[in-house]
Chains A and B, each alone.
Chain A
Amino acid sequence: MKIIPLFLFSLITVGLVLILNTTWVLPAPLGKILAPQSGVWQNAEPLDMDYNASLNFPTLNGKVSVYFDERLVPHVFAENENDAYFVQGYLHAKFRLWQMEFQTHAAAGRLSEIVGEKALPLDRDKRRLGMVYAAEIAEKEVEKDPVSLAECNNYTAGVNAYISSLKESTLPIEYKLLGYHPEKWTNLKTALFLKFMAFDLAGYENDFESTNAKTLLSANDFNKIYPIIMDSLDPIVPKGTVFPKPGIEVKIPASADSIYYDRNDTTIIEEHKPDPNNGSNNWAVAGSKTSSGAPILCNDPHLGLNLPSLWYEMQISTPAFNAYGATFPGAPAIIIGFNDSCAFGFTNAMRDVRDYYEIKFKDASRKEYWFDSAWVPTTFRIEKIGRKGQSDYLDTVAYTIMGPVMYDPTYSGGRNTQNKNYAVRWKAHDPSNELKMFTLLDKAKNYNDYYEAIKFLHTPGQNCIFACKNGDIAIWDQGAFPAKWYRQGDFVMPGTDSSYFWQGVIPQEENPHEINPARGFVSSANQLPADSTYPYYLGGNYPPYRGWEINKRLSVMNQITPQDMMKLQTDNYNVFGEMAVPVLLKYLDQSQISTQDQKYLTILSSWNFRNDPDSKGATVFKVLWDSLTVAVWADEFNNTKLKLPRPFESTLLDLMKKDSTLSFYDNINTPQKETLKDDILTAFKKSAPYFNQLENEGKLEWWKFKDTKVMNLARLDAFSRLHLPIGGGTHTINAANAQHGPSWRMIVSLTPETEAYGVYPGGQSGNPGSRFYDDFVDSWVQGKYYRLWVMKYGEEKSDKVKWVMTFSKS
């Protein structure tokens, strides 16, 4: 025996194991990850993977059969409704567990637990906005309703049944790579997921930036560049609609003139914001306009494009209902889809339901604040934020009658809050049970059922579209919307006075709506819901163009087929370009452009206003327009440290059309006075070298310039789909932006036998090692749809059924 080599080589062996099993030396534990019997190789699903299974769970009441078709879409047939939700939870977990947990961790401000300290600002932001607080309130609301509670309990049990079955080797790949384990699902997590959607869709506001702008700009300039009503507008409920006398008369606070509209107060806060592009299209046409004589409903929600997708497609059939559509991994029920009688979909209502109040604390202890001429006690909520590799971070948040004090001297999020205190009043903090709406819609048989269902939608407010086999079509701009006075909540409000509170919720029946209109269609694309005769203040955060184009098209379409709708839903016509290019060309002094740059001008002037993948005109227009916005706004906006909201593109275009003398055209950094003509020429001259560079790099084609990608949720390029050759963009119906766009395209023709089509940019499996991970992406890029198969009883032997999973009571 040789002690020294024995010792030496043993040490080397142990050292190698340690290096390859940890992240002490290598960025990843390569041995652990690559070990074929437990590491990531186990996530490589055979191409002919057998998904057949026979499972037993004592909590089930009856039998559930799940038939998977060739796209891995499950068709769930349950004898009992609660069993169906159990199986839905199980399937969501089986195919999307990591995503479900990651999204709810993000919602709950728990990312630091996974990635460490660097996520702390993001986590504190979510905690201090009261995301967990809101979810706890929502969970209590669910518990009050025995039907919703049973639905959630069964869903949760299904998720946990799958989690319990996991072994080290069968863990989803992300857990192996990031080195942690899933925890048990809870009803609170479902509530957190729904609040995550509320944050994404009803969390947008510009209160601080607008407050800054109000201080810096004259009232005249302010109202010019941040208008409430834009010229180019075609509201959801058509102009001329007569609205009833409002049920709530809002009173403007007596002090508003002196301390709100003119308050000289500035703040420098830049928040973590949801994507301002979050929007969508939906429309329904009556049978009078279709070739089949049956209504057709279409919907494509525009959201962040991720892999795994936000959506998971499925059919759920029980004795009580038979629904098909897109579901949220993380919540029970079908969310956007149809049943045997009707179809339903959503676009974002875009209302501002998140406002800020400046709080005056008595002292640094934050125990009391001045409110309605008295010192009122706060309550404290201690947020415990776990950090990977470190001790927990404790964040104490003061709660006022308005809501949590998100910003105070203990938290500025790295921003200059000047040690002031701001409480957030967010409608998503109020009790509501949105899940109930989806459950009721899945069962809805007619307009009345739909109307009763959507009453449960409080936040995020949505344009709920509906079409029924009996011929009815309808749209409701639905939500619990605060009744506001003019410009209320556009700026930070004083928190010392209850007269600045929201004074009530707009009565449900006064929400803008349209039922079976004479024009034969209803539609929405996030535009203003109603014109200026609507008796409540609606704010000014609405993109006008997609809605304008959709209505123009629908009004002249007749004998419509589902195929016509596919063309419309994937249409790349840029109506903003159509309106803007003539104005640009009118003011552009073409004699000032060098001969070598003339070709770009020719590309622009001969552009057909289509954002097709190969269009060069679309790129030239986009670059030139962006350059123009810099020429017009940047000098004034960069002249201050304060963050101001960028005026909308539609606002600038409206101003250019009617007012060529706007003060903002002048470049304040030069002695002479510039006009719109100068700005457009400057914009072109600044763009020309960039056009040249793009052309040399072969990136002048729109799809290459735009560079759409479907990004992996953990931001891993290797698990993403990059450089997708798709057209469209912000102002086109096909709203495919760089990382944002139509997340689920659906077309439902409500013929006696439903004829439905759909596609989403992802795949049914969340596993990057599965052929079902991203198999819909190419179809989505090409504007192709899948015919959605609504399976019926008796079709169990159909050759469309590829795999069968049965769930029984053991």
Chain B
Amino acid sequence: MKFFSALFLIIILSFCACLYLPWWSIAIVAFIVAALIPQNPMASFIAGFTAVFILWGALSFYISSQNGHILAHRISLLVLKNDSAGFLIVVTALIGGLIAGFAALSASYLRPRSAYEKS
């Protein structure tokens, strides 16, 4: 339950934060959520990682589909030297996931050990 609460909270709050704040605000969101909903480090990391992986993956996939993948083809060729829209979407999701995962992982060490051992 805690896992899914954290997951959904990070997805929703990351989306809202990025409307107004720089992209790396996902790290702050994941950190705060992980601090407020304590879990063991592994669960925290997975929740943070999965949340933003899903969010950024879904957003970029949706945008790219609407666009007929025109831009994704060009950018993947330019940035990844590989003409693959799907690869670019995965890289996008991975970047978001890693940042949020590590931020959540860091926050999981804020709480005393007992806090998550009981959960």
Contacts and interface: CB of A to CB of B under 8 A. Distances in A.
Interface of A: 1-3, 5-6, 9-10, 12-14, 16-17, 20-21, 28, 30-48, 173, 177, 716-719, 768-771, 773
9 contacts: A1-B111, A16-B102, A21-B24, A31-B24, A32-B22, A36-B18, A41-B71, A44-B71, A718-B74
A491 B98 CA distance: 65
Contacts of B59: 36-37, 41
A21 B75 CA distance: 17
Contact of B56 (A5, A36, A47): A36
Contact of B102 (A13, A46, A47, A771): A13
B110 A46 contact: no
Contact of B24 (A10, A17, A28, A46): A17
A770 B66 CA distance: 11
A731 B119 CA distance: 81
Contacts of A42: 63
B100 to A, nearest CB: 9
Most buried by A among B15, B74, B98: B74
Interface residues of B, number: 41
Given A2-B109, A6-B109, A34-B95, A13 B71 contact: no
A148 B113 CA distance: 75
A41 B109 contact: no
Given A31-B24, A768-B74, A47 B67 contact: yes
Q: Is the interface of B mostly helix, strand, loop or mixed?
A: helix
A177 B72 CA distance: 14
Nearest to A27: B79
Contacts of A771: 68, 70
B103 A36 contact: no
Contacts of B19: 37
Contact of A40 (B15, B56, B75, B96): B75
Given A13-B106, A41-B60, A46 B77 contact: no
Contact of B109 (A1, A14, A35): A1
Contacts, number: 123
B88 to A, nearest CB: 8
Nearest to B72: A44
B71 to A, nearest CB: 3
A17 B78 CA distance: 22
A46 B109 CA distance: 43
Given A9-B105, A12-B102, A37-B19, A768 B60 contact: no
A39 B66 contact: no
Interface string B39-72: 0010000000000000010011001101110111
B113 to A, nearest CB: 8
B27 interface: yes
A155 B31 CA distance: 48
Interface string B79-111: 100000000100110011011001101100111
A771 B70 CA distance: 7
Nearest to B15: A37
A718 B74 CA distance: 5
A768 B92 CA distance: 19
A717 B74 CA distance: 9
B106 A30 contact: no
A31 B23 CA distance: 8
Contacts of A768: 70-71, 74
A155 B96 CA distance: 41
A784 to B, nearest CB: 22
A767 to B, nearest CB: 8
A72 to B, nearest CB: 14
Contacts of B91: 30, 34
Contacts of A14: 27
A24 to B, nearest CB: 15
